[in-house]
Amino acid sequence: MRSLQVDTEKLGNLISKFERKVDEVPKGTGNTVKDVDSKNLLPNEGDIGTYKDLIKAGSPSDDITPHHVPSKEFLVRKLEWDSKKVKNDGMAMNVEQPKTGGRHRRTETYGRNMTNEEKAYYYSLESRDALAFDLLNLRKIYIEYNVYKEILPNLREYARQAREDYYKKELKKEW
């Protein structure tokens, strides 16, 4: 078993910086029929599966999207997994994403939410640390919406499944 050497101070500073950024994000604009950011978990929010299976189980109007944890880009860059296979067969968890706003858009790995320096550090993490980083980011977001108690069992289950799944794949280089 290889040993992990993580600059914990740098990781802690980065997480703190991201938490401050999340605090600064304005709530939804209110320009859709529904509230932009749901104050409750939506049906199927927190479901865990492959991206492809979660997409099939959902519908375009459910305001839910699968979120890769760690990010798809991390798995492609860091672990050199095939991009198409990761997107479709990679683990994901359903997160709220209405037409505007939503919890998914507030995650650090969504779109251009990270600077190039932050991305470089994120991609330098070991897969286990990237998993922890992304789960802590989701934790922070769900705490802000006062639905953390409801989503906690799903976050724990995701962590358990991901550790098993990604650890096996990383050792075997199956992807």
Give 84-125 pLDDT, tens digit per residue. 888 898 899 999 998 888 899 999 998 888 899 999 999 999
List residues bridging with 50 in a β-sheet: 91
CA dihedral sign of residues 48, 51, 52, 56: positive
* pLDDT number for residue 29: 39
* pLDDT number for residue 99: 85
- Quick one: 112 exposed, middle or buried, by C-beta within 10 A (0-12, 13-18, 19+)? exposed
Euclidean distance between CA atoms 67 and 105, whole angstroms: 10
For residue 5, give Cα distances in angstroms to 45, 90, 111, 123, 171: 34, 26, 28, 14, 18
Tokens of 120: 């470089």
Euclidean distance between CA atoms 121 and 41, whole angstroms: 31
Euclidean distance between CA atoms 75 and 86, whole angstroms: 7
Give this prediction's pTM: 0.73
More confident residue, 162 or 173: 162
Instruction: Indicate the residue type of 117.
Output: E
